[in-house]
Amino acid sequence: MARGLGKGLDALFPTQTIETLQSDEAIEKIQLELLVTNPFQPRKIFDDETIEELAQSIQEHGIIQPIVVRKKGKKYEIVVGERRFRASKIAGLNEIPAIVKELTEEQMMELAILENLQREDLTPIEEAEAYQSLIEKLHFTQEDLAKRLGKSRPHITNHIRLLQLPEEVRKLVNDGLLSMGHGRTLLGLKNKRRIPEVASKVVNQSLNVRQLETLIKQLNEDVPRETKKNKDIFVEAKETQLREYFGTNVQIRKNKNKGKIEIEFYSEDDLERILEILSLEQE
């Protein structure tokens, strides 16, 4: 599941990329006991197996690339390189090569998020939280963020929508028990209180996304039969297209002489997001 960033850090910080942070700087040896993790670290899950493998590599070859830190009182906060820090502790090291930088709180947050987004093993929820943090802290619109990161607008939108899932369901996505497709489909459930229940059913019965879509349609069954009969393959295809575009549930209802399109939203922020998409189309 590749998540390359396209323009990435160079687009956001043309003079302060991870590469420039780690080049042409004095490298210091810092005691591990003086290091603390980055409070803005978007990664919540660290794979124990890969950390162990990295620890073995460090024992054999040492640390090839220094971590980046900033001084905070008598301690050092890790900006880039938490996996190397964790692996070094397992490898039994007492100190680690590091580059000390003077960074603001905002720069700490920016670099921590963007460095992790360049990797390909963030969960969909972690990626969504990283996008949301950049939008909130740097005051980007979703369109701004999409352009700067070389992503499509729907890619950003569909990830951020996952944050509307209940906490226990987000955990299932983080744990790999539900896919991003499952999460997006669950948001189409009209009775939002049933999302955890349906999510548990997906896990227990190993339902794929297509099976979940069928289940959601059954649970949302409140459309008059006359309307359902008039819904042809063309209309259903257009509904699917609009759902993908707006990142939410869309219904097309047709009568003899007229029809209407219903676009669902689940919060004021979600409504603003949809209105923003519509205004961009008008421009």
Residues belonging to the active site:
82
Residue type, 181: G
Q: Could you tell me if 120 and 2 are in contact, meaning their C-beta atoms sit under 8 angstroms apart?
A: yes
Q: Could you tell me if 116 and 126 are in contact, meaning their C-beta atoms sit under 8 angstroms apart?
A: yes
Sign of CA dihedral 25, 26, 27, 32: negative
Q: Could you count the other beta carbons within 10 Å of the beta carbon of residue 191? A: 10
Reading the block at residue 120, the tokens are 């390909």
Residue type, 79: V
State in Å, rounded, how far the first CA of the chain is from the last one: 33
Reading the block at residue 218, the tokens are 């059954």
Q: Could you tell me if 29 and 95 are in contact, meaning their C-beta atoms sit under 8 angstroms apart?
A: yes
Reading the block at residue 145, the tokens are 């963020």
* Residue 255 CA: distances (Å) to CA of 220, 224, 239, 260: 20, 12, 16, 9
Beta-sheet strand order (sheet of 28-31): 28-31, 95-100, 67-72, 75-80, 35-36
* Residue 96 CA: distances (Å) to CA of 82, 84, 193: 11, 9, 49
Residue 85, helix vs strand vs coil: helix
